[in-house]
Each structure stands twice: as C-alpha cells, then as structure tokens.
Structure 1
Amino acid sequence: MSQICKIVVPFACLLSVNFAYADSTNFKRWAVSAGWMHVMPQGKANSTHVTTAVKEGGSYGVGSLYGADLGKYALNGDTLDDSLGRLMFKSFVRNSQKDPNYKVPDGFMKGARADITGISDYTADGGMEIDDTDTLGLTLSYFVNDNVSLELVGGIPPKVDVKGVGEIRATALSTSNSSHLPPFSPPTYFDGLELLKDTLITDLGAHGTVAEVTAWTPAITAKYHFGTSGKNKFRPFVGAGVVYGHFNKLKLNGGVEDDLIQAGYMIDNILNDRAGEALHGGKGSSTATPEVKVKTSDAFAPVLTAGFTYDFTDRWFSTGSLSYMPNFNNVATVTVTDTSTGRQLIKSTTKIDLDPLVTYVGVGYRF
C-alpha cells in the first residue's frame, strides 16, 4: 500500500496545484472513463531454484531400507569392492522379488550411513506463467494543455490464474559410507554403494492452474494527443509512464500443496536419519507437520501506450488503446516449513515474467 501511495500522492498534488486554474477557464481539463480492459501476458515460464535443509554431501543415517529400492536405484551393486557385499546385495534384491515389502534385516542396517548429494541446492525446469484476464478499467485524466495530459489508470483488481509449466524434480545420489563403524561391521560391506533416484516433486503442467492471485496494477502515464479540441473528433495519442504491481490473496492449488507436503516429509526423514524411508517415498515415520506458504514480490515497469479518442459531444467520448509493459516481472517464493519445529525444509523461487499487452475500450466524460 505504501508503494501505491508513492505513485498516487505526487499525482494528486500536481492536480491540486492546477485545480484553481482549471476551474477558471472554459477548457475541460478533466476526463474520466470506464471500460473493458483485457490483459494478455507475453512472458514465458522460467526455471525454479530450489534449496532444502539437507546439507550437500552430508552424512545421514539410512534406517530401514526396502530390498526393492536396492534393485531399482542401485548403480553399482554388482561391482562393489567387497565380495561379501556383492553377495548380500544380490540376495536382498532376490528376496524383494518374492516379497515387494521385504526390508533389509536390521542387523545389516544398524549404524548405516550415506552421503547425500544433489538435492540441497538445484535448479528445476518447471515454472509458472500468467493467464489472460479481463477487468473493469477506470481512468482519470488531467490535461495540462490541449495536447498533453497526465492519466491515472486503475480498475477493479482482477483475480489472475497462474498456470504451471513443466515439472519440479529432485535427483538425489546416496553413497553408502559407514566408515565410522568398526571394521567388518555389516554396514561397511556396502560402503561405496550408490543409489540414484530421480523424484517427481510436482507436475506443474498436469495441475494446470497452480495458483490464483489478485493483481493491483495502478499506472501513471503522460500522453500527447494529436489534433485540436473542437475541431477534430478523432484524436490519436501516444504516451509513456510507469506501472506498479502488487499481488496478494494468493491461493495455491490443493494438489500442488499436497505434493509439496510430501516433499517436506522426504526432507524431514533424511534430516532425522531415515534416508531409506525418504528413498522409498511417502510420509514414512516422519512426525513433521509441513506447512506450505507462497508469496510474491512487488514490481515496477515502464508503460508504452498508443490509442485514440472519438468525441460524441464536447463532453462525451469513446476511447481505445493498446499498452505494453516490458520487463514487468516479479518473484514467487514457496516455502515448506515444519510448524512443529519451525525449521524450513524447502524453499523455491521462480521469476514470473508478465510483460503484458493491455487493450482498453471505454466511454468517457469531460468536465
């Protein structure tokens, strides 16, 4: 709100300075209009930067481990340096083929740890785009002279749909490293075993509309009007100015929120030495209560506009315009926090390019 005031107050002061002069002439210096405003964002989705509470290369306890996960994700089980480790690996995988719920016996997992890389700080291809939207546009103009005007552009803040594009994935490499244990401890037989899993965090494209947000985008422009009042009913104009964007009342798609909560469980399991459960997926033994929050930054951008007015009478007129707002973008930040501990599990940021073309068709009145 303070940013909006920074735009509106100087404009209002300028108008008040000229108010007495405007009233002392027959020239109609004020004009208002209302009409249909159609917003067509031109920006494309950007990649998403993701960070988690997992330390890159950090050592975490494995806990329980499903034999089926060994078979799915192991890169080098058949080539482990330890021959006993190779035999046990093959045995565990065979057992899982008979029983999908088979877990590696606890005796082989006690004290087992793994170094985890790839999910502490990474960039995913998925992102967000803004859908077209319509709203009631309102303008207030003050004419400095017959050819130059200052205009405040606003309207009813529309609810805007945010589309998802692509997927957010996380690729984690877990390398067994139980060198802290005494020699010949069962977990050490698997040292060097690498498990690689590419996890789909959320399919933004499949969810379609991933969020809804209310957009406040007041603008101030200076315009030059060709022709002369009283002579030319049709008067083209060109102009330039600045737009301010503030976005609130953001609601996240329930499916995306559920996906991120599941990702929060995965991170919590790793942090609490249950990397095997994180590998398997699902909530597992996590006691976390993940909460997802989304916020967007404010934005400023230039405005370029061209259009016309057509007079019905000396007071009533119609107007139409096409405006472009280049480099109009903001940043969306999504966090997943364990409310039971206050620990932030996941943070992601993505730039949303708006860069809209805006058409406006309205009817106005001069006074």
Structure 2
Amino acid sequence: MKIITLCKQSLLAVSITSTFGLVHADDFKRFSVSAGWLHVMPQGKANPFDISTSVPSGTNVAVGEISIPAFLGVLDPDASFKDGDGYTNTKFFLNEVFKKEGDASSVGELLGFVDENGNVNAETSGVATINGIDHWQNEGSGLEADDVDTLGLTFNYYLNENVSLQFIGGIPPKVDINGKGFIKAPLTGSAKAGGLAGQILPDIALKQDIPITNLDAYGKAASVRAWTPALEAQYQWGKAGVNKFRPYVGAGVMYAHFSDIKLNSGIRSDLEAAGHMIQNIHDGQAGAALDGKKSSANPVVDVDADDAIAPIVTAGFTYDITPNWYTVASVSYAKLNNKATINVIDSNTNRELIHSSTKMDIDPIITYLGVGYRF
C-alpha cells in the first residue's frame, strides 16, 4: 500500500513539473553560440558642424603688415564710400590704388601705402573690429559613417524553449568616416585705415568667408574602431527537435564605444593652420592671420567621439541542420547617434583656440548570416 502511494506521489510530481516547464526534455539545449558574417549599413545623414573660436565678436585688433590680395579679399564687395564724384565702390577703388600699370609703380606705392616687401604696411592697414567667427554653424557639412563588414558572434541563454537572452558581439571593425561640406569662417566687421589712407577713407566694411577645410575634397575624413556589443531578449516560435524552421524577434540595447580615431592628415593640417589664424588675431596680427602665416602658438588637433546607448530590434530565423547544428539569419536596426568633437588647442598654453562638434546619426541596419551550435 505504501509503495502504491509513493508511486502515485512521484507520478503527480512529474506531471506538475512537466506542466510548468520546471523539468526539461533530454534534448532541450539551454545554450547556443553562432559565428558568421555581419554587415553594417549606416542610414544616418550628416549634421552641420557647430563651431566656435576664442575670438569674441567685437574684438579690436591691429592688422599689421598684410599682402595686397589678402587686404582686398577681406573687403565687403558691396561696400561703398562717398568721394567728390559721388558714391564709389570701396573694393574697386582700392584695387585701382594698388594696381600696377606695366612697370610703373602703383598709386599705393607712390603714396607710401606699400612697404618694401610689396605688402600694405601696418600704418595703412590700421585697426580692425572682427565679428562673426566667435560662433557659427556650417550648413551642409558633417560626418557620415561608411558601410562595414566584420565577423559577428552571438551567445544565447534560453530561459525556456521559446524565450532567450542573446549577447551580440564580434570583432570590432575599423569604420571609415566620410566628411561632407566646406568649412568656412563667416568673418565680418570693419577696419579703420591709418595714415593718409585713413584721411581718404571712412571705416571700411569687411566681409569674407575664410576657408578652413574642404571635407568634400578629402572624402575619408577619419577612421575609427567601433565597439558595439548588444543585449537582447528574444522570442522564438516553434519547438526544438520538432520545427526545423523557427522565426524569432528580439529587442534590447546596444552600447557603442569608439577608439583609435585617426583624422585625415590633410584635414589635420588645415585645422592647425586655422589655429595659427586664431592665435595671430590674439597676437594683434590680423594681417598675418589672413595671409596664413604661422603664429606664436603650437596648434594640436584633438578628436573624440562620445559613447552611446541605443535601442535595437531584430527579426530573424534559425534552421536546424541537426539537433545541435543550425544556420541563422537576421536583420537588426539600432537608433544610434553620438557626438563627435574636434578641438584645436595651443599646446604651449593649453588654450582652446577652436571648438567644433557635430551629431553623428549612424542608425545602422545590421544583417547577420551565421552557423551555430546548441549545447
């Protein structure tokens, strides 16, 4: 009688645990790993660079010696002044003053506006008030990530036959970052000529978009190593050992970290030159800034990309080759963006000369094709 009672209790226990999934069949595999081809296709578009410099609007600075082309180039082409015959275009008038006729000296040389080096002398160039380069945005500029391929790896832990947690990783790929747009500093302001020129001319209006760097000309602006592990909760339809084809969906989070950032050497050189331009203004040599001369600074370029966390969703399927081996294919989308920052710093003083940043919308579609093993 006791034996029959024990048997009944054992059968009842087996029935209860089987019903609630606390005991699994012998063929239930709690873990799986896979490896395969991971292709990342960023969908985001470039966002404008936001740029500021250490030169506040309204800065007054001596121009100093400046070449004639740079002097004429910074004049507002629409500015005019009133002479005895009416209004005269300032840029046209000064171009005529400095223009040579054959071997003859220009009017500017005869009046002593030009020094022995053939440049507008410091007395004539006078003092300038500079606006516009303290802060601006360059529309049509920005950075975009290129497509990339790498080895993908996944690891699943199954809570039951349908629900699992998946870790997605792989070999961190080197991603090419493409630059878009022409970076220009929108300089405006006015200048007051000195000496005899100051007696002839009123305040001279200044207006010029100062070229900094042409990102379109360089194509690849930088390269970066991207670390983008993800963790998802997934639901898979069907039953192991019964259904060979088992679709699934998943949702989770992706963490993105970027290292080994290498800036294009041409862009780096352009930004160092821009750093010299800003320092020349601080040194009271605005003419040297416009002529692209080196300054007292030692500009260095620092590039950084922020870490980011993004939601990720996935749809895919597995197909069993054997009870243990399977193939897997999936498509994922992550709403991923981060901020890239490029600073130009004077290493002599640690002063930040130029600060620029842009939001990078990466938003990748990720396809994965692999082979896995359950255990």
Q: Do they fold alike, i.e. is TM over 0.5?
A: yes
**Paired residues, number:** 337
Residue 296 of structure 1 is matched in structure 2 by 305
Using a 3 Å threshold, how does the CA distance of structure 1 residues 303 and 90 change in structure 2: closer, same or farther? closer
Instruction: For residues 289-347 of structure 1, give each alpha carbon's deviation from its aligned partner in whole angstroms, at most 9, with x where no partner exists.
Output: 11001000011111110000011111111100000012x10000000011112111101
Counterpart contact for 1:233–1:310, Cα < 8 Å? yes
Partner Cα distance (1:187, 1:277) in 2:
21
Partner Cα distance (1:330, 1:22) in 2:
45
1:283 and 2:299 are equivalent in the alignment: no
Superposed displacement of residue 95, structure 1: 4.9
Q: Identify the match of residue 362 of structure 2 among 334, 354, 366.
A: 354
Partner Cα distance (1:257, 1:207) in 2:
11
Superposed displacement of residue 25, structure 1: 6.2
Deviates more, 1:299-308 or 1:186-195: 186-195
Using a 3 Å threshold, how does the CA distance of structure 1 residues 141 and 76 change in structure 2: closer, same or farther? closer
Partner Cα distance (2:80, 2:64) in 1:
23
Using a 3 Å threshold, how does the CA distance of structure 1 residues 323 and 82 change in structure 2: closer, same or farther? same
Superposed displacement of residue 365, structure 1: 0.6
Partner Cα distance (1:166, 1:22) in 2:
62
Q: Which amino acid aligns with 2:371?
A: V
Residue 134 of structure 2 is matched in structure 1 by 120
1:221 and 2:232 are equivalent in the alignment: yes
Superposed displacement of residue 74, structure 1: 2.1
Counterpart contact for 2:234–2:249, Cα < 8 Å? yes
Using a 3 Å threshold, how does the CA distance of structure 1 residues 141 and 106 change in structure 2: closer, same or farther? closer
Counterpart contact for 2:32–2:157, Cα < 8 Å? yes
Unaligned 5+ segments in structure 2 are: 1-21, 107-113
Instruction: For residues 214-246 of structure 1, give each alpha carbon's deviation from its aligned partner in whole angstroms, at most 9, with x where no partner exists.
Output: 000010001110111111001000111110100
Instruction: For residues 111-155 of structure 1, give each alpha carbon's deviation from its aligned partner in whole angstroms, at most 9, with x where no partner exists.
Output: x22111111100012110000001111111011111111100001
Counterpart contact for 2:28–2:240, Cα < 8 Å? no
Q: Which amino acid aligns with 1:245?
A: A
Unaligned 5+ segments in structure 1 are: 1-20
Residue 70 of structure 2 is matched in structure 1 by 69
Using a 3 Å threshold, how does the CA distance of structure 1 residues 88 and 45 change in structure 2: closer, same or farther? closer
Identity among equivalent pairs (%): 45
What aligned pairs does 1:97-176 form with structure 2 within 5 A after superposition? Answer: 102-109=118-125, 112-125=126-139, 126-176=141-191
SS at match of 2:242: coil
Superposed displacement of residue 77, structure 1: 9.2
Q: Which amino acid aligns with 2:333?
A: Y
Counterpart contact for 1:63–1:277, Cα < 8 Å? yes
Q: Which amino acid aligns with 2:184?
A: R
Superposed displacement of residue 177, structure 1: 4.2
Counterpart contact for 2:338–2:360, Cα < 8 Å? yes
Partner Cα distance (1:311, 1:154) in 2:
22
Partner Cα distance (1:28, 1:350) in 2:
47
What aligned pairs does 1:52-63 form with structure 2 within 5 A after superposition? Answer: 52-63=53-64
What aligned pairs does 1:1-367 form with structure 2 within 5 A after superposition? Answer: 26-75=27-76, 79-80=80-81, 89=94, 92-95=97-100, 102-109=118-125, 112-125=126-139, 126-177=141-192, 187=198, 190-280=201-291, 282-284=292-294, 286-326=295-335, 328-367=336-375
Partner Cα distance (1:24, 1:235) in 2:
18
Deviates more, 1:190-199 or 1:33-42: 190-199
Partner Cα distance (1:276, 1:22) in 2:
83
